[in-house]
Amino acid sequence: MFKTVQLTKEGYHKFHLELEELKNQKRPKAIDTLHKARSMGDLSENSAYHSAREELALVEGRILEIEEILKLSIVVENNNHTDKVSLGSIITVESNGVKNQYKIVGEFEADPINKKLSSNSPLGAGFIGKKVGDIIEIKIPSGTIVYKILKIS
């Protein structure tokens, strides 16, 4: 059975843009590089050829991956509900006196460095359905972190 993929509107759009770039720019460039490397002679000792083949395989693999994600995706709109945390919510939380802001996104959009948390991650899942003022305890390997939700937008 196929699993649906939840994406925010922004995430869906980013995947479409990446797919277009891969198909219209990166794939043709990789094919051209491969043809040039192939024309250099003996393929068994031609590192440029092997490198170009690898690059083309990576591009083709990413195209297939994105097409599958988009095929299985459901765009979930937040509709600016600020009473409960849901996919697409931007939340401000406090933990140990430090405030942070996170966006709750689908699993394929997650980017913890840029404070985009997957709704399936322990932290993101802990926030889903909570309200302003709620206290959430998240268990991590080194113990428990307590968060208080200050704002939902």
All residues at 6 or more sequence positions from 28 whose CB lies less than 8 Å from its CB, including other chains: none
pTM of this prediction exceeds 0.85:
no
How many residues make up the chain in this entry? Answer: 153
Q: Does domain 90-152 have CATH number 3.10.50.30?
A: yes
CATH classification code of 5-75: 1.10.287.180
The alpha-helical segments, DSSP class H, found in 22-111 are 27-38, 47-72
Neighbours of 87 (CB within 10 A): 22
Distance CA 46, CA 53 (A): 11
Alpha-carbon distance 71 to 151, whole Å?
Answer: 34
- Listed in order, the ranges of the chain carrying CATH 1.10.287.180 are 5-75
Q: Are 59 and 22 in contact (CB under 8 A)?
A: yes
Low-confidence ranges of the chain (pLDDT < 70): 1-2, 42-43, 78-81
* Amino acid symbol at 31: I
- pLDDT score, position 140: 78
